[in-house]
Amino acid sequence: MRQYLLNIILLFLGFTIIYSCSRHQQINRTIFLADSIMEYQPDSAFKLLKTINQTDLSVSENAKYALLLAQAQDKAGHQLINDSLILIAINHYDHLSKDNNKAKAYFYLGRFYQNNNDYAKAINSYLIAEKATSDHDTLLTLIYDNLGTCYKNQDFYDKALEVYKDAYYIYKQYNSKNILYPLRGMASIYAIQEQFEKALKYYQTALTIASSTNDSTWQSILFCDISRIYDNKNLYEAAYSYIVRSIQYAPRSSDLSAMYFWKGEILHNLNQLDSAFYYINLAKKSSDLNTQASAYQALYEIKKEQGELNDAILYNDTSLILYDSIQDLNHSAEISHILKQHATETLQQAEVIKRQKYTAFLIVTTLLLIACITFIFLYKDNKRKKVYIKIQCELRNNQIEKDELKEKIKTLIDSNTYIAERNKELKKEELKQQQVELWKRTLQICTRLFHTSTSYKKLHAIETAKFKKEREEKQKEINSIQKEINEVFIEAIQELREQYPKLTQEDLFYCILQYLRLSTSTIKFCMRVESNQALTQRKYRIKKQISPQTFSIIFNESSPSEGVL
């Protein structure tokens, strides 16, 4: 009897083990299949993974399952509802330094935060994912693309450009169609910065690639982007032609409300009010509250311009109601965000000690770095002071020589008549020549001294400014630049004034600017004149008042040691 019971127990255990092994094999096959079709059929992968009972999984299987399910949800366009799923994968893979599963886990955590507009946490997650990535260019480009978007939304445009460029170069190596994402990203940054020509360049490059692959969806998107650039440049005809093409290329199943709104706005700018009203009226049917609110506001503006005030008031009231609804939704989202933050605080406590150690390491490293930077700064500052003192000594010695030379000339003029008149004139000319050379040397020394001043940096910024707006921002600094030039070049200016008293203060300032070899546009900017003719007339007037040799030194010589830039 005992033997019989023992056989039954052994048989039961055997069936249990066989069933368990078979079950785990089935789970592993399902996970493997879902992983293999993830790239091209994320919806099917998501459905497959949902057939798995999570309680049957081991710790490692559960981590893999959580990671794949998060990936399938994201790729299929379903937003992660909470971060609990992805945190299972992070807790399992976090101890690894370089591991693509860890990188993926943090990437999808970043996607969760990004979808919830928590860009600071999203950026942090993406940066951890970047560090954990090991020889996985596809994942790295996804990280860079999303990191660029987060940086852009946080107004860190330089950083956004940097990561978009990193993604671009990786895609370019593999000749990937996904290169359109970083191209559009870079173009959008330049558009925000009002560098419209650069933005157009990148949009056109992306459009060429999209056209070569007959991708109508991308063509529609890029036509719309280009239309906005031309609208910002007030080139409304060009903007209109591109928005028309954008609508033509848009997939039939897509929501055209935003494009209709944009087309209506362009027509409004072209003063075609009836056509503008027609398209914006179509846009107000959008399911998006923001588009609806903007459409009603635009309809209010059109009706107000047409003098139909009753209709205008109705549209305005509707837009205000919609804006209030949007504000209420944002308030609800804020409350939801606070609740999510509270839920994650418990998990974050585990990271506190780790972060404290890391912070201590950073503090020590930072202090050492500050000490090194301070030492380098003091060394450079000391070196600069020595150069400054040396130049001042040269200037002082040069002045002494000039004073001695002036005394010799004066003595020669006052000398008795026993010296032959011709010899006296020759000697006088020789001394005058020496005086000019000393004045030239004074200019050179003053220029070297000017290189150490803050005004030199300001002039350099004006000289290298690419856009008119950048120069206009420097307009208020012209007075301080002129003042410092007068102080640095005081001895050279003083001598010019003594030799040629008819020269005005503006003439003297112009002479120094010319000697510094600045561009004509910079000189006009500093002199506050609009035309080249004004400078030409001033130059001609100065030429008539000073000696040819002095004129040549100021206007014609081009020694690298003398030019400022």
Whether the per-residue pLDDT at 555 is higher than 80: the answer is yes
CB atoms within 10 A of CB 262: 22
Give burial (CB, 10 Å; 0-12/13-18/19+) of 264: buried
42: left (phi over 0), alpha (psi -120 to 50) or beta: alpha
Distance CA 45, CA 4 (A): 47
Is CATH 1.10.10 the right assignment for the domain spanning 24-118?
no
Q: What angle do CA 421, 424, 428 make, to 5 degrees?
A: 140
pLDDT in tens, 453-490: 888 888 888 888 777 777 777 778 888 888 888 888 88
Strand, coil or helix: 141: helix
* Domain boundary assignment for the chain: 24-118, 385-555
Q: Taking residues 514-532, what's their average pLDDT?
A: 87
Alpha-helical regions (H) of 154-256: 157-173, 180-192, 196-212, 216-232, 236-249
36 phi/psi in degrees, rounded to 5: -70, -30
Between 340 and 59, residue with greater pLDDT: 59
State residue 405's pLDDT score: 52
Distance CA 359, CA 117 (A): 26
Distance CA 232, CA 170 (A): 32
Give burial (CB, 10 Å; 0-12/13-18/19+) of 413: exposed
- For 308-333, the three-class secondary structure string (H helix, E strand, C coil) is CHHHHHHHHHHHHHHHHHHHHHHHHH
CA distances from 258 to 148, 290, 316, 319, 324 (A): 24, 10, 19, 16, 20
**CB neighbours of 423 closer than 8 A, spacing ≥ 6?**
none
pLDDT in tens, 241-268: 999 999 898 888 888 888 888 888 888 8
State residue 565's pLDDT score: 45
Q: Taking residues 66-89, what's their average pLDDT?
A: 80
Give burial (CB, 10 Å; 0-12/13-18/19+) of 294: buried
pLDDT in tens, 116-128: 888 888 899 989 9
What DSSP state is assigned to residue 416?
-
**Which residue bears the tokens 């591991």?**
99
CA 241 to mean position of chain CA atoms: 29
Whether the per-residue pLDDT at 204 is higher than 90: the answer is yes
Reported confidence tier of residue 190, pLDDT bands at 50, 70, 90: very high
Reported confidence tier of residue 183, pLDDT bands at 50, 70, 90: very high
Q: Taking residues 215-239, what's their average pLDDT?
A: 91
Yes or no: say if 174 and 150 are a contact pair by the CB < 8 Å rule. Answer: no
Lowest-confidence segment of 155-164, 272-281, 323-332, 455-464 by average pLDDT: 323-332
Indicate the pTM of the whole model. 0.52
State residue 184's pLDDT score: 92
Lowest-confidence segment of 45-59, 208-222, 528-542 by average pLDDT: 45-59
State residue 228's pLDDT score: 92
Reported confidence tier of residue 498, pLDDT bands at 50, 70, 90: confident
State residue 225's pLDDT score: 92
Distance CA 28, CA 62 (A): 11
pLDDT in tens, 335-384: 655 555 555 455 445 556 666 777 788 888 888 888 888 888 777 767 66
Whether the per-residue pLDDT at 308 is higher than 70: the answer is yes
State residue 296's pLDDT score: 85
Yes or no: say if 46 and 73 are a contact pair by the CB < 8 Å rule. Answer: yes
Average pLDDT, the chain: 79
